[in-house]
Structure 1
Amino acid sequence: MDGYVLVLNASYEPLQRVSLQHAIKMLVREVAVVEEEAGGTFGPFPVPKVLRLVRYVVTRWMHRRSGLCTKTAIKARDKKCAYCGGRAETVDHVIPRSRGGTLTWDNAVAACQRCNHRKANRTPEEAGMALLLVPSRPTHQFVA
């Protein structure tokens, strides 16, 4: 036993692996049932090897293209203008495209029209504009 338990959706498709402690909490809350035992007991519960959720969980997020950097994904990641904190209306390239900048997670930020126009074809330092956030690859997928 490696201390991890496989969790299946109610439709028997695999979702994730969780710790034994988390699996026991799921059993206590009655959100899952034991499909396969590993042997032994943990208090009143059998030690699970595989759990199945009682209710189906929608897994739309599992089927999205991961890591795809688009303007919509940039705006969803940042949620606000990276320069003034206003409404994110467009995407700005930190290193301008005319200087070799590309649409990547590390080079694009959400911006309002005013800040994007003010920065123009310059770097934030040249325009005297500080970034409120550091652009980076997101750790979670965003629903756009």
Structure 2
Amino acid sequence: MLNASLEPLCIVSVHRAVLLMMCGKATVLETDGRTLHSAHVELPLPVVISLTRYVHVPVRRPVPPTRRTVLQRDSHRCAYCGGGADTVDHVHPRSKGGRHEWANVVAACVRCNHRKADRLLHELGWELPFTPRAPRWSIAFGSGAVRADPLWSAYVVA
């Protein structure tokens, strides 16, 4: 769902989108060609809707680097070996003064996390294939529980 200014607000269910459309509070911007039928009404199945009136949204706080959000950012891939990741690792260990922040946390598999332990990367001769940084998505669009639709890409900056 987009604001009247076409900025992304949140992800809503099809049920909620249809209710907003029928009340005149939202219009359809993107559809996948399918339609919803009732006894008297036929509506396009909404994929992207826009509110008809602007809604003021307070400034969102940055997403914290939790296990779930770090794994999401790194696509559940180990930063060291490229395999499947199921835990997180501090690049500069906390025991040596590293902080728990986006630039210092990466997804890792249990094996690599255990091998690295509390050592620095140069001590092992390892290198990161990327520079860790905070994701640019918000909590509303970073949810792993919702499958992103390709039609959203024109409206949501990744």
TM-score range, shorter chain: 0.5 to 0.7
Residue type at the aligned position of 2:64: L
CA 1:78/1:16 → structure 2, altered by over 3 Å: closer, same or farther?
Answer: farther
Percent identical residues: 44
Question: Which gives a bigger RCO, structure 1 or 2 (Cα 8 Å, sep 6+)?
Answer: 2
SS class of match (2:137): coil
Unaligned stretches of 5+ in structure 2?
A: 7-20, 29-45, 50-56, 145-158
Which residue of the partner structure matches residue 15 of structure 1? 3
Which residue of the partner structure matches residue 70 of structure 2? 74
Whole-Å separation in 2 of the counterparts to 1:119 and 1:70: 20
Whole-Å separation in 2 of the counterparts to 1:86 and 1:128: 19
- Number of residue pairs matched by the alignment: 100
2:87 is the counterpart of 1:87: no
Larger Rg: 1
Residue type at the aligned position of 2:101: T
2:126 is the counterpart of 1:129: yes
- Paired residues for 1:45-56 under 5 Å: 52-54=26-28, 55=46
Whole-Å separation in 1 of the counterparts to 2:116 and 2:95: 13
| TM-score w.r.t. length of structure 1 | 0.58
CA-to-partner distance for each residue in 1:18-47, whole Å, 9 max, x for gaps? 5xxxxxxxxxxxxx9xx9xxxxxxxxxxxx
| Offset of residue 77 of structure 1 | 0.3
Whole-Å separation in 1 of the counterparts to 2:111 and 2:4: 44
Whole-Å separation in 1 of the counterparts to 2:47 and 2:61: 22
Structure having the larger proportion of residues in strand: 1
Please report the RMSD computed on the Cα atoms of aligned residues, expressed in angstroms.
3.3
Residue type at the aligned position of 2:94: R
| TM-score w.r.t. length of structure 2 | 0.53
SS class of match (1:17): coil
| Offset of residue 57 of structure 1 | 4.9
